Amino acid sequence: MASAARTRSNYAVVLAALMVAVAAIFIADTVTDYAVAVAIFHTAVMLVATRFLGVRAVAALATVCVILTCLSFILTPSGDYKIGLVNTGISIVAIGVTAYLGLKLKGAEAQVHEARERITRIARLTTLGQLTASIAHEVSQPLAAIATSAGAGRRWLVQPQPNTEKALAAIDRIMLDAERASEILDRVRRLARNEAPASSIFDLNAAVTEIINLSASAVGASGAIIDADLADPLPDAFADRVQVQQVVSNLLLNGLEAVASASRRTPRISVTTRLTDARLRVTVADNGDGLSSEATEHLYDAFWTTKADGFGLGLTICRAIVEANGGRIWTEASPLGGASFSFELPVARGDA
């Protein structure tokens, strides 16, 4: 309410100042000679009016200026009548043209403002859609793992001689995947809010090994072989551990899908970690069919995918995560014959 009162007060002050200026111009135009076209200064008043007043107020003020210009011509006591008539006509035309252009400019500004509001609303809806799709994409992985582990646990329990040890191991995997889904939701929410990652010092090899173990069921179902070549010793990483595991999980599942659709007899994926130029590098390569030039060009674009049931957000999220953690990600041809995805992360300062 205080802001509205202040706005109305400012509006009244501007309107009063404009009316004083119009009155001063009218008096000066009336007392001077016909040859002195003081009324032309009404155009300056119109320019100021279009900046601060509404459309109706500007039109009314322009009408007042034209009437006062005509009245001033009638009341002017001295000078050449014809010169005064010409000056008055020029002044009236100038006032009208200035008011017209000012109103057109004001209308254009209103359209721009409306367009910006529409774009803002569309951007919010798009962001909401991207967030919803990214959550669905990211959480679907641990949920699928939970379903697989639950099915395996049930099979171990319904056997004539239940294998409780393996059933308990399946339950442990379910608990880990449920915790990972919760952490993913939290990290996606942070990512959507552009919040800084929860960076910490952690063992990169241990984090990668954990994801490989969690993906064991998916790897077994695809019949793929995973070659883990983890450099040892390797300095600690400084990044968000859960987000980094999201990236590794995404790349690993993409590799499994790539080798599943390939024509090779032995699907193979290699996961390597290296220390390169004081940066930690993780590479996931497969021996699938590789990527076309179009796929390579649009690989990290949001909602672009070659999968029939894909969201087109996996690699987009991967790039956002890696860059938010101070790294970079890129794609190249795999020495195995398919595609290779690599990303780099900063080394913990003490180890660097």
CA 134 from centre of chain: 13
Residue 298 vs residue 38, higher pLDDT: 38
Most confident among 136-140, 246-250, 300-304 (mean pLDDT): 246-250
| CA–CA distance, 184 with 55 (Å, rounded to integer) | 53
Proportion of the chain in helix, strand, coil states, percent, rounded to 5: 65, 10, 25
Q: What percent of the chain has pLDDT over 70?
A: 77
Query: What per-residue confidence (pLDDT) applies to 127?
Result: 47
Pairing of strands 328-333, 237-239: unpaired
110 pLDDT tier (thresholds 50, 70, 90):
confident
pLDDT score of 352: 47
pLDDT at 306: 59
d(CA 295, CA 102): 51
Confidence band of 161 (pLDDT split at 50, 70, 90): confident
What rounded mean pLDDT belongs to the chain? 79
| Triad 24, 29, 30: Cα angle to 5° | 100
Which pLDDT tens digit goes with each residue over 60-91? 888 888 888 898 888 888 877 888 888 888 88
Mean pLDDT of 280-300: 80
Position 170: which residue type?
A
Name the nearest CA neighbour of 42 among 55, 24, 57: 24
pLDDT in tens, 313-340: 667 778 888 888 889 999 888 888 788 9
Sequence length of the chain is 352
Distance CA 258, CA 245 (A): 20
Q: Write out pLDDT tens, residues 88-97.
A: 888 888 888 8
